[in-house]
A and B are shown apart, each in its own frame.
Chain A
């Protein structure tokens, strides 16, 4: 079946399944780490598999459904029988294999490619494991292998489902429910009897069923229906006990998170935490904690998914609101008037506008946790394959960054982690010989630093090989400076140059032709920077510096002639009135200025951008000293206008299409409705 991009059912399916799969992966990794498979997790996985199975077969993605079905069977068995510890590792490998398969298929769907993956290999493996377990298990239990909860008496329920207003095709959806439920139902009847979207839309869809499933199971199943607005489910005969003996300890009760069931789990987590405490004093257990606290997926009701572009639009609107507010409160018509009531009302408006702005910004911020968590998987897989013992330590993963930025840094981060495990860390034997603990430590750290976020990827491995880098750089002709004059940092940073890759042989994980230059490019794309530092034998640290948000920056507005420009405050060191005699001019006509014994180039903005202005004498204007990566530059402008938060907007695509403008990174609207161009300090430094 072909689904169009943008089809709401299809999109909802992809989002939901991706989430479940990711949740699944996280759980497996966490529990593998603490080395136990508690019952709650088995139930949870069973539920996840069940949901994926249901929605996938509804969407006709039979390969995923088949896989989910096999895994569901397996976990259904595990719900009844405990798993011998010997099989744990095989189980988690298998689960991750399933996770990967589903991810690949989801990816295909997103790109509009045919979903044609072959799941049978994994399905066979799952079946084999199940068979093995069954044979190993007590033969007396073999009758209930299917794991379906048996109940002596059938339960009777009446359900009424109301779909959301924008659902459309209610009749089809109702049919799908019955179709998917069929296996469970002994008998059923529904109102309306025939296809009648209108009736369903107005009165809901009523379903009377006789089943040996418990209330909870039916309720759970029905509440997973997409586009459901209301669900009423009642047991219609007195003999139907909703307790359902098939689910002895399932914490399904969807009412209260703080229900007593939560406690034993927390205790378990604490135990797990204690185990890890010495190794990872950070919050590495957080996800486990969260998972345990939300056992049956009621977090769904507390968050909603919003498309990022909607947030972008909202952001734009708020930007306009801020400007409109300034236009009203600073209106030339009221300047100089004593309007007490008006001022009061205006202040109130101002306060609310700021609050809205803050909230919108806040909504766009996402913690780095998900991105960091993903690295667990990479580290696990790689250390298993490469036979290295590695522990991943996460620090500050609750640091929040703008959603758009997160999307851009997850690939580079993954690359750095792979590199660190593959090249950075030594094997256990090598480490022992070097007098280091056998297990290598890889630390991912995030911290807030003013308007920026620092992400540090640090390993305690062998460190970068300075001589190797120099040799390679020489061979590839990347050296532009005498070696003797280069600092260690400069040498290390050579690895970011295009065409540089020291590793001779290509391994499965890194060195696939994608070098550090790509990492650098990706990070530069979001206005970030990356530096590397290393000590031989002690390890390497990559520091990524990224702006907190792309959407709003703190800027200093400066004027040149009629034009206004905005300089990001983070790069400004100082500003000062220069004296004509401080300026030194070299024979090429380049101006420089000496400030506290250091010499900085002077860039006249009016010359660079050819803006007519009366202020051309250096002593009439003002110099703004900016710095980036240790390089400084003094920008000559007419005057400073003021500091404010500005909403960054890209230049129109037509303009960008004509030419890439060096030195300008975007534009912004000022309070008076005028446009100011935002200076790209990195670009300006490169020009000088």
Chain B
């Protein structure tokens, strides 16, 4: 690869990264608005037939066939310790990709992509460790407030292990 070509690729990457910076996908679970960093999101799909997998915690609903790729799906509502609700027409699956690991998040609905500059994000109050486990920040958009999710915590929180050990 010649220097020029290499530079271009780097530029491209930078640009792409730039265009994704501060962008959040807004979705709704229960009555709350959440945001998730757009760089994690690979696609949004409608609800599909989910194959349950035995011995999994409640929030892992099973696996789905995403064009031949088999990915697990997690019900965000159950993940947040809210009661399970039957899926409806607007229910959809946000497919995210973290460290080469694909997983689908079942949410009540997806609304829009928001731009929230870093200056408009504040850290969550340190009231109670348990309640803010998955929130990495609170973003202000106009008069509204969005909870910004920490994707990695969603997947790697040790709660899963604790649940299984009980």
Docked complex Cα distance between A583 and B68 (Å): 41
Docked complex Cα distance between A459 and B56 (Å): 47
Residues of A within 8 A of B54 (CB): 608-610, 661, 663-664
Knowing A654-B103, A655-B53, A658-B56, say if A675 contacts B65 (CB, 8 Å): yes
Please, what's the 1-or-0 string for B38-78, where 1 marks a CB less than 8 Å from any CB in chain A? 00000000000101111111001001110110111000000
Would you give the shortest CB distance from B126 to chain A, in whole angstroms? 29
Residues of A within 8 A of B71 (CB): 652
Confirm or deny: B11 has a beta carbon within 8 angstroms of a beta carbon on chain A.
no
Residues of A within 8 A of B155 (CB): 654
Docked complex Cα distance between A318 and B55 (Å): 31
Confirm or deny: B160 has a beta carbon within 8 angstroms of a beta carbon on chain A.
yes
Confirm or deny: A111 has a beta carbon within 8 angstroms of a beta carbon on chain B.
no
Residues of A within 8 A of B102 (CB): 652
Confirm or deny: B88 has a beta carbon within 8 angstroms of a beta carbon on chain A.
no
Closest residue of chain B to A610 (Cβ to Cβ) is B54
Q: Which of A635-670 contact B (CB under 8 A)?
A: 649, 651-655, 658-659, 661-664, 667, 669
Confirm or deny: A674 has a beta carbon within 8 angstroms of a beta carbon on chain B.
yes
Closest residue of chain A to B54 (Cβ to Cβ) is A609
Residues of A within 8 A of B51 (CB): 563, 667, 674-677
Would you give the shortest CB distance from B59 to chain A, in whole angstroms? 10
Residues of B within 8 A of A677 (CB): 51, 53
Contact A673 B52, beta carbon cutoff 8 Å? no
Closest residue of chain A to B102 (Cβ to Cβ) is A652
Contact A653 B101, beta carbon cutoff 8 Å? yes
Confirm or deny: A168 has a beta carbon within 8 angstroms of a beta carbon on chain B.
yes
Confirm or deny: A319 has a beta carbon within 8 angstroms of a beta carbon on chain B.
yes
Would you give the shortest CB distance from B127 to chain A, in whole angstroms? 29
Contact A664 B101, beta carbon cutoff 8 Å? no
Contact A563 B56, beta carbon cutoff 8 Å? no
Contact B70 A323, beta carbon cutoff 8 Å? no
Confirm or deny: B123 has a beta carbon within 8 angstroms of a beta carbon on chain A.
no
Contact B1 A675, beta carbon cutoff 8 Å? no
Contact with B68, one of A323, A658, A663 (Cβ below 8 angstroms): A323
Docked complex Cα distance between A658 and B64 (Å): 17
Confirm or deny: A316 has a beta carbon within 8 angstroms of a beta carbon on chain B.
yes
Contact B56 A655, beta carbon cutoff 8 Å? yes
Residues of B within 8 A of A319 (CB): 68
Docked complex Cα distance between A675 and B49 (Å): 9
Contact B56 A320, beta carbon cutoff 8 Å? no
Would you give the shortest CB distance from B100 to chain A, in whole angstroms? 9
Residues of A within 8 A of B63 (CB): 651-652, 655, 667, 675
Closest residue of chain A to B55 (Cβ to Cβ) is A661
Contact B68 A674, beta carbon cutoff 8 Å? no
Would you give the shortest CB distance from A81 to chain B, in whole angstroms? 50
Confirm or deny: A611 has a beta carbon within 8 angstroms of a beta carbon on chain B.
yes
Would you give the shortest CB distance from B74 to chain A, in whole angstroms? 9
Knowing A651-B70, A652-B72, A675-B70, say if A669 contacts B53 (CB, 8 Å): no
Contact B65 A674, beta carbon cutoff 8 Å? yes
Docked complex Cα distance between A654 and B152 (Å): 12
Would you give the shortest CB distance from A174 to chain B, in whole angstroms? 17
Residues of A within 8 A of B160 (CB): 658
Would you give the shortest CB distance from A104 to chain B, in whole angstroms? 32
Interface centre among A609, A658, A667, A673 (most CB of B within 10 A): A658
Contact with A655, one of B67, B68, B72, B164 (Cβ below 8 angstroms): B72
Docked complex Cα distance between A676 and B53 (Å): 10
Would you give the shortest CB distance from B157 to chain A, in whole angstroms? 11
Docked complex Cα distance between A664 and B55 (Å): 11
Residues of B within 8 A of A168 (CB): 1
Would you give the shortest CB distance from A673 to chain B, in whole angstroms? 6
Contact B70 A669, beta carbon cutoff 8 Å? yes
Please, what's the 1-or-0 string for B87-123, where 1 marks a CB less than 8 Å from any CB in chain A? 0000000000000011100000000000000000000
Residues of A within 8 A of B101 (CB): 652-654
Residues of B within 8 A of A655 (CB): 53, 56, 60, 63, 72
Interface centre among A317, A323, A659, A673 (most CB of B within 10 A): A659
Q: Which of A272-324 contact B (CB under 8 A)?
A: 316-317, 319-320, 323
Docked complex Cα distance between A675 and B53 (Å): 10
Closest residue of chain A to B67 (Cβ to Cβ) is A320
Residues of B within 8 A of A658 (CB): 56-57, 60, 160, 164
Closest residue of chain B to A656 (Cβ to Cβ) is B72
Docked complex Cα distance between A565 and B49 (Å): 15
Contact B65 A661, beta carbon cutoff 8 Å? no
Residues of B within 8 A of A675 (CB): 51, 63-65, 70
Residues of B within 8 A of A320 (CB): 67-68
Please, what's the 1-or-0 string for A602-620, where 1 marks a CB less than 8 Å from any CB in chain B? 0000001111000000000
Would you give the shortest CB distance from A434 to chain B, in whole angstroms? 55
Q: Which of B1-32 contact A (CB under 8 A)?
A: 1
Contact A664 B53, beta carbon cutoff 8 Å? yes
Docked complex Cα distance between A640 and B97 (Å): 37
Contact A611 B70, beta carbon cutoff 8 Å? no
Interface centre among A609, A655, A661, A674 (most CB of B within 10 A): A655
Contact B70 A659, beta carbon cutoff 8 Å? no
Residues of B within 8 A of A654 (CB): 72, 101, 103, 155
Residues of A within 8 A of B64 (CB): 675
Residues of A within 8 A of B164 (CB): 658-659
Docked complex Cα distance between A663 and B55 (Å): 11
Contact B55 A669, beta carbon cutoff 8 Å? no
Docked complex Cα distance between A655 and B63 (Å): 9
Residues of B within 8 A of A611 (CB): 52
Residues of B within 8 A of A676 (CB): 51
Docked complex Cα distance between A649 and B71 (Å): 11
Residues of B within 8 A of A653 (CB): 101
Would you give the shortest CB distance from A57 to chain B, in whole angstroms? 26
Q: Which of B123-166 contact A (CB under 8 A)?
A: 155, 160, 164
Residues of A within 8 A of B49 (CB): 674
Docked complex Cα distance between A673 and B71 (Å): 13
Would you give the shortest CB distance from B79 to chain A, in whole angstroms? 13
Docked complex Cα distance between A608 and B55 (Å): 9
Would you give the shortest CB distance from A613 to chain B, in whole angstroms? 12
**Residue contacts A-B, CB under 8 angstroms, 10 given:** A316-B68, A319-B68, A609-B54, A610-B54, A652-B102, A653-B101, A655-B53, A655-B56, A663-B54, A667-B63
Partner-B contacts on A (CB < 8 A): 168, 316-317, 319-320, 323, 563, 608-611, 649, 651-655, 658-659, 661-664, 667, 669, 673-677
A168-B1, A667-B51 known; 20 new pairs, CB 8 Å cut-off, are A320-B68, A323-B68, A608-B54, A609-B52, A651-B63, A652-B63, A652-B71, A652-B72, A655-B53, A658-B56, A661-B53, A661-B55, A661-B56, A667-B63, A669-B65, A669-B68, A673-B65, A674-B65, A675-B51, A675-B70
6 A-B pairs with least C-beta separation: A320-B68, A609-B54, A675-B51, A652-B72, A654-B72, A655-B72
